[in-house]
């Protein structure tokens, strides 16, 4: 099973502009989620999305590395700790502008998968769907 996510994007803008967009509270609110981020090592902050059934909508984070204007790393914990992961942004100047590398790592195996089933946002829907399918299957039996 895959454990890591990795995205690479090139933006036709200078390094410092892209850096601001991943470190400014207002910018982050615009493209990621409302937050109380501060680019200070050791600082805890939260991203807050709309709560969904089974999920409070809160992602709890802590700045683990901040090296302007190139590297930003923070912990990313949600769903009562079932998702206990790391997010890292790495910026690099390229001829076309700025390359952003986004890595979301630390997803564990089946244990957190099972717990996520029960408390994660998307999984609730799947479970409900499954329950209905199971009920319908049972109802169809003589």
Partner 1 sequence: MELAVHFKMSLPAVSQHLRQLREAGLVEERRQGRQRIYRLEATPLREVADWLSHFEDFWRTRLVKLRDHLDAAKAKPAGTDKEPE
The residue ranges that bind partner 1 (CB under 8 A) are 1-3, 5, 7, 9, 11, 13, 17-18, 21-22, 27, 30-32, 100, 102, 104, 107, 111, 113-118, 120, 122-123, 126-127, 130-131, 133-134
Backbone angles phi, psi at 116, to 5 degrees: -60, -35
- Residue 6 near residue 87 (C-beta atoms within 8 A): no
Closest CA to 22 of 82, 83, 102, 78: 102
Closest CA to 89 of 1, 34, 21: 21
Q: Which is nearer to partner 1, 5 or 94 (CB)?
A: 5
Q: Please, what is the minimum distance in Å from the beta carbon of residue 122 to partner 1?
A: 5
Q: Please, what is the minimum distance in Å from the beta carbon of residue 111 to partner 1?
A: 7
Write the DSSP symbol of residue 79.
G
Q: Please, what is the minimum distance in Å from the beta carbon of residue 40 to partner 1?
A: 22
Round to whole Å and give the CA distance between 41 and 62.
8
Q: Which is nearer to partner 1, 36 or 117 (CB)?
A: 117
Q: Which is nearer to partner 1, 41 or 51 (CB)?
A: 51
In this structure, what token pair is assigned to residue 4?
A: 């890591």
Q: Which is nearer to partner 1, 41 or 122 (CB)?
A: 122
């Amino acid at each position: 099973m895959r454990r890591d996510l990795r995205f690479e994007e090139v933006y036709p803008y200078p390094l410092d502009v892209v850096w601001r967009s991943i470190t400014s509270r207002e910018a982050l609110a615009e493209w990621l989620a409302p937050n109380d981020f501060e680019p200070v090592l050791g600082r805890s902050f939260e991203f807050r999305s709309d709560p969904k059934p089974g999920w409070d909508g809160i992602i709890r984070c802590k700045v683990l590395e901040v090296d302007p204007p190139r590297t930003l790393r923070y912990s990313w914990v949600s769903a009562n700790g079932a998702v206990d992961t790391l997010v890292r942004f790495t910026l690099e100047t390229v001829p076309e502008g700025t390359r952003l590398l986004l890595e979301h790592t630390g997803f564990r195996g089946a244990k957190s998968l099972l717990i996520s089933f029960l408390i994660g946002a998307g999984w609730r829907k799947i479970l409900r769907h499954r329950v209905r399918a199971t009920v319908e299957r049972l109802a169809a039996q003589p």
